[in-house]
Amino acid sequence: MNIALIIENSQAAKSEIVHDALKTVVEPLGHNVHHYGMYSPEDNTQLTYIMNGLLAGILLNSKAADFVVTGCGTGMGSMLGCNAMPGVICGLVIDPTDAFLFGQINDGNAISMPYAKGFGWAAELNLQDCYRKLFEVERGVGYPKERAAIMAKNRNILSEVKAASHHDMLTVLKSVDQDLLKTAISGERFQEYFFANAKDEAIAEYVKSVLAS
């Protein structure tokens, strides 16, 4: 599985902590981590939580990523930005119980975490424990197990409602502010990771045209 990491500008100083915690857990499980930035507060591309959402939408809808890990100060902004995108189901994860229940019940494709609120002593251990509860077990099994069937049914209904209430991702990309979009995809390693892994040619070609403009 390709896991994309996206860090918002206010929390860019913690990028290495988050990246290391994620890699420590998921790489031994055979997953790849592609860090799309930010890497430091001084990066040329300054990602806002709105851009985090756009990036998550691009990566998941193009299948360049299978799962997105993102966040901001409280985690709320990035969660809202992600859930504004078609095909993205993002949960707010603060502790390992959140991670476990989101994976078992909602089985979404993105999480947003707070990297300022409550981010104190041993924060990296909490991050690792959250990632373990999310990635070390099979997702979508249900909790409690006797409600697994109704939970799966509700996930499908939510996906259908989201599809009905949203435009497709290519339409979104053509409709949003193009300067905002270009900034969001101008990160140092975006092209390296995205074009090597994207499977939706239409999205990839449009992204390429925006970068060239």
> How does strand 2-5 pair with strand 110-114?
unpaired
Give residue 103's pLDDT.
97
Can you tell me the distance from the alpha carbon of 209 to that of 207, in angstroms, rounded to the nearest whole number?
A: 5
Mean pLDDT, residues 151-158: 94
Looking at residue 18, its pLDDT comes to 98
Residue 149: CB atoms within 10 A of its CB come to 10
Least confident stretch, 22-31, 137-146, 167-176: 137-146
- According to the model, what pLDDT value does residue 5 have? 98
pLDDT digit string (tens) for 196-212? 999 999 999 999 999 99
Q: In the CATH scheme, what architecture does the domain 2-212 have?
A: 3-Layer(aba) Sandwich (3.40)
User: What's the rounded mean pLDDT across residues 96-122?
Assistant: 97
Task: Quick: pLDDT tens for 50-97.
Answer: 999 999 999 999 999 999 999 999 999 999 999 999 999 999 999 999
Average pLDDT over residues 118-123: 94
Residue 212 neighbours by CB distance under 10 Å: 7
pLDDT for 108: 97
- Runs of H (alpha helix) within the chain: 15-26, 49-61, 76-83, 96-101, 123-135, 148-165, 169-175, 178-184, 190-197, 201-212
Looking at every residue in the chain, the average pLDDT score rounds to: 97
Task: Report the alpha-carbon distance of residue 99 to residue 131 in Å, rounded.
Answer: 7
Quick: pLDDT tens for 4-46: 999 999 999 999 999 999 999 999 999 999 999 999 999 999 9
What are the boundaries of each domain within the chain?
A: 2-212
